Amino acid sequence: MDEKDQYYIQLYVYAGVLIAAAIYLLFKSIYETGIIQYLAKKIIGESSVEKIKQQLYNINDETTIYRKKKKNVDIQKEMELTNKVLAQMDKETAKPVLRLKLTNEQVSIFGSKVGGIPYIPSKDAIPFDSEGLPLRMLAQIDCRELSALPDFPQVGLLQFWIDQFDDSLGLFTEGGSRVVWHETVDDKITEEQVRSWLADFPQPDGNEYWFPVTGEFGLSFIKEEEPMPMSDAHFGPIFVKKYNELTEDDNIEDMYDLSDDTNEMIWDHHTGDGHKIGGYPAFSQEDPRKSDSDQTVLLLQIDSEDDESIMWGDGGVCGFFCTPDDLKRRDFSKVLYNWDCS
C-alpha cells in the first residue's frame, strides 16, 4: 500500500467520524424539541409511549436512555414543595407495622422464627412444588403476636415456604412458594416427629444449596407506624397529584420530571428496609406490582443481614403480598412472592 492509498483511507475515516457526529447532533437537537415524542404519541398512541417511557425509567441511572430535562428549574422551590408533599403523605399513608428483630433464642416448633424446623400437623402437610419436590420453610409466625395489625389472623401459625432446589428460590418455579395458615395447632406433635417426616424427602446437596437463611433465629416484635416509601409502586401517582395541587406553573407528569437531587432526597426520606410484617415494602430493583395493584398488604418482608446469616443473592430483600380482601378471608392461595437483589 503506497502513501497515496494510506492518505485516502485516513481521509475516509475522518469523513466517517464527522458524518456520524453530525447525524448525532442533528437527532439530538430534534429530540430535545419534543417533535419525536409528539409524533410517536400520534402514530402509536400516548399509552404505548408512556409504557415505553416507564420501562426506560427503570434502567440504572448510568445507562438511562430517556430522561426528561427541565430547564431553569428552581431546585430550592422544588425541594420545598417536595418536603410539603412528603409531610402530607407521611400523615396520610402511615400504616401499622411490626418490625422483626432476629434473636438467638431457641424456639420450639410452635414459635415465631426464621429458618429452622417448622410445625407441621402431619407428613402429608408438607408443601411441594409442581415437580413434587418439598418446599422449605422460610419463616413461621405465631399469630398471637399480630394483634397490632388489623385483619391479620390472631390465632394459629402463619408459615412462608419457598423452593430450596432452584437458584431462583421458587421465584420462577410453578408452585415455588406457599403461604400456609394453620388455624389450630396440635401440641402433641414433637420436633422429632417433624424431623423424621422431613428426612423422608429429597434434600439439596452441598453444591445446590441456595437457601437464603443459615441457621434458625427467634423473633421479637416491635410495633411502629411507617409512611409509604418511594420504592412502592403506589407512591408515584399519589405524590404527583399532591405536588401539582401545590403549584400552578411547574406541574409534573411523573417523578422523573423532578431533578436528580430531589429524587434522591425523596428516596432517602424512607426506604422501607428491614424485616417486618405490615407497613410498606422495600425493593433492591423495582416493585413488581403496578400502581393500580390491590395487593397492598405486606404479609412478610425478610431482608438480608450484614453478617450474611440471611442473604438474598448479593444482598436483596424478599416480600409476600396479598389483597386486603384475601387477608380478611384467610385466602393465601394467590399471594405474590418476590425477591430481588442488585
In a domain, residue 242? The reply is: no
In a domain, residue 172? The reply is: yes
Q: What is the average pLDDT across 50-61?
A: 44
**Which of 21-25, 199-203, 295-299, 325-329 comes out lowest in average pLDDT?**
21-25
Residue 200 structural domain: 95-226+272-340
Q: pLDDT for 152-170, tens place per residue?
A: 999 999 999 999 998 899 9
What phi and psi values does residue 268 have, to the nearest 5 degrees?
-75, -15
Q: Say yes or no to pLDDT of 7 above 80.
A: no
- Contact (Cβ atoms closer than 8 angstroms) between residue 284 and residue 302: no
The reported pTM is 0.78
CATH number of the domain enclosing 193 = 2.30.320.10
Mean residue pLDDT across the chain: 85
Write the DSSP string, 46-84.
Answer: HHHHHHHHHHHHTS-GGG-S-----SS--HHHHHHHHHH
Structural domain total, the chain? 1
**Which of 53-57, 189-193, 290-294 comes out lowest in average pLDDT?**
53-57
CA distance 86 to 90: 6
289 sits in which H/E element: none
Q: pLDDT for 172-196, tens place per residue?
A: 989 999 999 999 999 999 999 999 9
Q: Give the pLDDT of residue 8.
A: 52
337, β-bridge pairs = 320
Percentages of the chain per state (helix, strand, coil), in multiples of 5: 35, 20, 45
In a domain, residue 138? The reply is: yes
Rg (CA), the chain: 26
In a domain, residue 298? The reply is: yes
Q: What is the average pLDDT across 194-207?
A: 89
Q: pLDDT for 108-124, tens place per residue?
A: 999 999 999 999 999 99
- Contact (Cβ atoms closer than 8 angstroms) between residue 114 and residue 139: yes
Q: Say yes or no to pLDDT of 201 above 50.
A: yes
In a domain, residue 109? The reply is: yes
Q: Say yes or no to pLDDT of 47 above 90.
A: no
* Cell digits of residue 302: 425478610
Q: The sheet that has 317-322: what strands, in order across it? A: 177-182, 157-162, 136-142, 113-115, 216-226, 95-103, 276-278, 297-303, 317-322, 336-340
In a domain, residue 211? The reply is: yes
CA distance 205 to 196: 18
CA distance 51 to 72: 27
- Contact (Cβ atoms closer than 8 angstroms) between residue 88 and residue 243: no
In a domain, residue 201? The reply is: yes
In a domain, residue 141? The reply is: yes
